[in-house]
Chain A
Amino acid sequence: MELLNRQPLVATSLLLVPFLTLVAPPWLALVGVPPCWPVLWLLPWALADGRRSAVLLAAVLGMLMDAIHHGPVSWLPGLLLLAWWWGPLSMRRPPIEGPFSLGLLALLGTLLMDGTLMLQWVAWSWRIPFGRGAAGPDPAELAQPGWTWQDLSTSGLHVLLAQTLLTALLAPLICTPLLRLWRRAHPSWRG
């Protein structure tokens, strides 16, 4: 929280997250799937500034991400859960900063993040299985939008695995410098 108060300019870096999501550089994608930028930003922030600050900025980040994506599904639950989980890790001694640890946390965090998205889609698109009338399916049932369970278990699984792997691979490269930068700015880490 102190970092948030003292370094408002650093905190505004979270604006880069929706911008990077919109830019979606094709050379930084795995089989067409981009990394989970909110996870890559939230992980070092939570490890540097604690739970309260992380939860607050996770809420802000979640609302920004919801603003640039259509549909009823929200990023907020997943990001808030991650902030709640990762925040207390800032108190660990010795601090978490190794590339393997960061990669593992990003991998599990992306799994959790995408898992909350999938759960929301399952809840939103929950419907009675198509009828088997002789005249064919009911058009009203077919017209209900959203990921179906079948879509999630095929292409959804593909997105989940690709995004998780890519985010975990990028975490040491992105989270390590961010973590060092913010710990250097944090008063308790100035020595």
Chain B
Amino acid sequence: MPPTRRRRPTAPRGKLPWPLILAFILLLVGVRLSKGAMLTDAFAALSLPFWPGPAQSEWLRSARTVEDQARLEALTQDNTRLRQMLALQQSRDGQAEGQTVSAPVISRQTGGWWQQLVIGKGAVAGVRAGQPVLAPGGLIGLVASVTPATATVTLLTDPSSRVGVWLSRTKHHGLLTGVGTARPVVRFLDKDPEARPGDLVVTSPASTLVPPNLPVGVIQSVDASADPAPTAVVQLIAPVQAVDWVQVLRP
């Protein structure tokens, strides 16, 4: 009798662990597509106790600060040089503290035909006609005339006041014009300044009279149908009728 061949037990045909294989393939594809995200995440979790301490992070931050300061310095110098080339006013940021003169308000005429302040510092203290005058909140006017001990400041609300401004949001230019009331008006130079109530009005970088980006006021209402270009009523930030001390910016 021929010996009987015993068959090895084999896995039943069609019983391969296909779900497992498919999951493994998908896992590999996922790892490939995610650039090893799971691996690196796992590595990060495992190596957490051995990460660099906060000291090295501080060093990096410090280096970044120094780099930022150096870049700011270079940009400031570049900006100053360009503004000098264009004969524009210097930014207030570039001015030293000694270049401002604090002065008390000794007379205030905010109603009537003239809207002006008289301040208790004049030519002796270095105040000159044309210098911008700031109060807490922003620009309030320009020095109109000086005596040895006093200076007269034309307020932004005076009808003879004209200051170049722009909207900090849309960068559209206009001319801030006093109209004899407590709220001056911005007469825009564009047909569509995209202004809306609440927009911040600051001095224009193109102005030859005042340093750029000094806060002036907030738009209260817009007249889009004004001719020849839209206008906007501005509420000044600085409390002109209550201010007792002002700062005169010297160039």
Contacts and interface: CB of A to CB of B under 8 A. Distances in A.
| Chains A and B belong together in one complex | yes
A25 to B, nearest CB: 10
Interface in B135-188: 144-145, 152, 154, 159-162, 175, 177, 179-182, 187-188
A171 B94 CA distance: 53
Interface string B95-126: 00000000000111111111010100000000
A190 interface: no
B112 A70 contact: no
Contact of B175 (A114, A134, A142): A142
Nearest to A141: B228
Q: Is the interface of A mostly helix, strand, loop or mixed?
A: loop
Q: For chain A, give the interface size range.
A: 35 or more
A136 B180 contact: no
Contacts of B154: 70
Q: Is the interface of B mostly helix, strand, loop or mixed?
A: loop
B180 A71 contact: no
Nearest to A31: B111
A169 interface: no
B188 A159 contact: no
Contacts of B110: 32
A33 B112 contact: yes
Contacts of B160: 70-71, 145-147
Interface stretch (A42-50, A96-104, A149-157, A175-183): A149-157
Contacts of B113: 69, 73, 114, 117, 159
Interface stretch (A7-15, A84-92, A125-133): A125-133
27 contacts: A22-B109, A24-B107, A32-B110, A68-B152, A69-B113, A69-B114, A69-B116, A70-B116, A70-B154, A70-B160, A71-B160, A73-B113, A114-B113, A132-B227, A133-B228, A135-B191, A136-B228, A137-B189, A137-B228, A142-B162, A145-B159, A147-B159, A147-B160, A155-B179, A155-B181, A159-B111, A159-B113
